[in-house]
A and B are shown apart, each in its own frame.
Chain A
Amino acid sequence: MVAGTLLAFGIDFLMYGVFMADSMKEMEKFYASVMYPEGQRPSEAWFIVYELCRMLIIGMVVLQRPMKGLSSFVWGFAVSSLLTICMDFWWMMFFNDPNMSVGHVAMEAVMGGVIMGLCAWLMSMVYSKLST
């Protein structure tokens, strides 16, 4: 769980903090009136808690059986994509965000799915090494 959480945190930090920094800034403009002003936001380190929650859900599927190799990746991918689609569905129902589109949701679901698939794979490997 710890290994998966750290990997997810590292990849998300790179993805949203570096590679997608410009498009995130664009998105923030829409929410500027309700967001914390820059400099007053909680530390990004708090996202460890969010990642741990995701690992708990993935872990319930992957470690309960337990799975190995590609099947853990596939289930990590599937569960994460489903979770992303549900959350984005809720977001689109209530928020008037012009950046949210079916294409954006699909991209998030695939990217999040690949990251969680890798984390599930790592978790299953660490679990099988330590449980023997």
Chain B
Amino acid sequence: MSLKATSISVVGASVVSWGLAGLWHMVIIADMEHEAWAKFSAVLRPEDAMPSPFWWMIPLMVFYWAVSYFVSRGPGGVSAATGMRTAVIVAFVVNFMAEFSMHMFFNDMSMGMSAMSLGFELVSAAVGGSVLGLLYSKLNT
């Protein structure tokens, strides 16, 4: 397992997923999200006190590091296809778990929003996982 290949592929996949998350949350469904989360205004940070979106890179890098760990030890070697498959499986489990626990406690969670959010995370993980596998296989020669 090459440190250079791992680092570059993890950062590359995280940047791609970060860009997709920005496009999704801040452009495509910005209005719908605004409406859905308005019910939670009493417990959310005020909009101008939200931290910079750049911080989102940290959990993404942890996620893709975990994916690179799984894929480099799993069957079939590291490729765009195995990276995509592993990232989608891990993203599904983690995001399903997060949405499930939110629905267990919060009254105003929208099932439709959760389904859309899960769908987006799977697409994002598929793209990011492919980038991770592709970069890793090219650099780890």
Q: Measuring CB to CB, which residues of chain A are less than 8 angstroms from any residue of chain B?
A: 30-31, 33-37, 41-42, 46-47, 49-50, 53-54, 56-57, 60-61, 64-65, 79, 82-83, 85-87, 89-90, 93-97
Q: Nearest Cβ in chain A — how far from B90, in angstroms?
A: 7
B-chain residues with CB within 8 Å of residue A34 when the two chains form the complex: 39-40, 42-43, 106-108
B120 contacts chain A at the CB level, 8 A cutoff: no
Ordered by A's residue number, 22 sampled pairs between the chains whose C-beta atoms are within 8 Å are A33-B43, A34-B40, A36-B107, A41-B104, A49-B100, A50-B97, A50-B101, A50-B104, A57-B93, A60-B90, A64-B73, A79-B66, A82-B66, A86-B59, A86-B63, A87-B98, A90-B98, A93-B50, A94-B50, A95-B43, A95-B44, A97-B43
What separation, in Å, do the CA atoms of A37 and B107 have in the docked complex?
8
> In the assembled complex, which residues on chain B have CB atoms less than 8 Å from the CB atom of A35?
105-107
Say yes or no for B70: interface residue by CB 8 A criterion. yes
Bound Cα distance from A94 to B39, whole angstroms: 14
CB-CB under 8 A from B73, the residues of chain A are 64-65
